[in-house]
Structure 1
C-alpha cells in the first residue's frame, strides 16, 4: 500500500458557494482541515449502523467542544425514506440545532443523499459536509449537491439541490469496502468516461486490472479524474437544465431496474452498469453509435466484474412503465441520455417507446 501519495484538492467553482473536494488517505483524522468548515456550535453526524462502528469515533474526535449528536440509519437503499428524514429532523430539534449548525454525512450515497436533504429542510437550509466512505459516493453522489429520498413509485423522486461546504474523501475508508460495493463505484467512474472523455475511457481499459486490485496510485487518479470532470459539469449547470443531465447516462434504465427489484436485487452501481449497456444498445439500434463502441463498454464492465444482464424475473413492460416516471421525462415522452459512441453522450427527447421496449425485450430474452 502506498502511503506517500499526495492529497489532491479539486474545487467545485460555484461563486460564493464554491467548495473543496479533498481526496487522500487519513483525511478523517485531519480535524483541523474539516473542522474549520463548521461555522456554529452544533453538529449532527448522520451515518449507518455498518459505517459508524468503523469511523464515527474518528470524526467525533474532531467535534470536541461542540454540541453534537449522531443519527444512525439501517444500511441499504430502502432506508432512504421520508420516515427517516422525519426522525433525523426530530434529532436536530432535540439537539437544539440553530441556523449555523452543520450536518455531517458519514457513509455512502444513501447516507449522503438523506443527510443532505435533511440539512436542506432544517430551518430552510443549513450547512452540511460530505464524508463519503464508498467509492461510488466519492466519485459521484457526494459532489454536486443533489439530495433526496425515494418513494415506492420510484427512486429520488423527492429532493433538493443543496451544495455541501466540503467533501472529505478519505480513501482509507475504501480498505473496508466489500468488493461488490467497490465495483459499484467503478461503474460511476466508467460512466464519466463514457459520457465525455474518450481518453479517460482508454486509460480505464489499460488499467482495469490495477483498478480491480485497488492499486492506490491508479485509484486516486481515477477518483480525481472523475471528480474533476463532474465538478466542471456542475459549475456550468448546477440545477440540471442542460449539460448536467448527461451525467445520467444509463440512469433511466438503471433506476427502473433498481425500483423493479425493490432496491435489493441490484445495487445502484449495478443498475447503472446494466443501464449504460442498455443505453448503448438503444443508441446502436437508433443508428447513433457503432456496435464496436457497445462491445468496448461491455468488455470494460466485465473486466471490472460488473453485471451486464437484466436479472431474471424482470418484465420489459413493467420496466418501461417505471421509466415513464423518470425525472427526465418531458410532457409524457421519454427523454434519455444516449451516445454517439465513447465520450460523446447527448440528450435525446421523444424517444420512441417501441424501440426502448425492443431493447428491453432483447435483454430479458437473452438471460
Structure 2
C-alpha cells in the first residue's frame, strides 16, 4: 500500500452531475499536493459517478466511494472517514470550492499543534456573485461562542482524523449536524484554532440544507395572558423604536462577555489577525437588517409566549443555550422583558 497522505478530503455528493467538476478541480488545484479525495456518492442515480471516475482516471488521488442512499450527508461523511488514510480529515461539500492554498493554510495551523482548524470563507450565490464574507468575529472561538451559535460550515474545517469518531461521529438530523459535532468535540476539551484568511467559497442559496433547517426549539423571553398583548409586544420589538437601545445593550453585553472569555485559556483569536474586538462588535451592532427576525408568539398551556426560535439540534442543547444566554446577554434580555411588558399605546380622539 502506498504511503498515507497528510490530508483525506471527504466530499459527500448526490446527483450533482457535471457541476461537481468545479469542486473536484478546486481540490486538484491545491498548492499542497499530499492529499486523497474521497468522493462518497450517496446512491446517486444520474451521471455523477461517471464524472468522478473521469477525474480519478486523470488523477489517482481522486477516489469514488459508492454508498447506499442515506439522504443526509452525515452517513456518507462517516463512510468517508472509515475509508480515509490521511493524518488530517478535511471536508468539502459538493457545491463548495476551495482557494488553491486552502490545504496549505490548514497545514500551517496544524503545525502549531492544532487539533481542529477552521478558516474564513466567502459566500457566493449560484451565479458566482459574492453575497457575504466572514468577518473577524466569525473566526474568534471559545466553547461558549460555539455553544450559542452555529459556527464553521464543513467546507471550512479540518481535524486530526480520529477525533470525529472519538466524539461520536457525524449524526443525522434536521440540519446543522456540523454544529452538533463541533459542540461535542468542544465538550470533550478540544479547541479550534482559526484562520482569518477566506480560503473556502460556499454556496449561499435558499435551496441549501442550512436554509431549510427546521427550528424545533425555542427560548421563552416573555409571557402574556392573551394573544393580543403578545402580538402587540412582538410588533413593538420589531417596530424599530427601541433599536438603538438594543444595539447599545448588545455592545455592552458582548464586550463584557468577550473580555471575560479572553481571560481563559480556551479563547482563540485567529492566527493571522489581532484586531480590536470592540470595534468589530460595534460594527456588527450597526449592520443593517431586522434585529428580531426569529421572534414568534406561541400558545403554551393557556398563555402566550414571546419566544426566540433556536437553531439547536437537540433539546439539551437548547437548554444550555438558554442558561448561557441569561448569563451573557443580561441587558438585552432585560430590555426585551421591559419592552414586552409595556402597555400598548392608546390613540386618543
**TM-score normalised according to structure 2 size:** 0.34
Report which of the two has the higher share of helix: 1
Rg larger for:
2
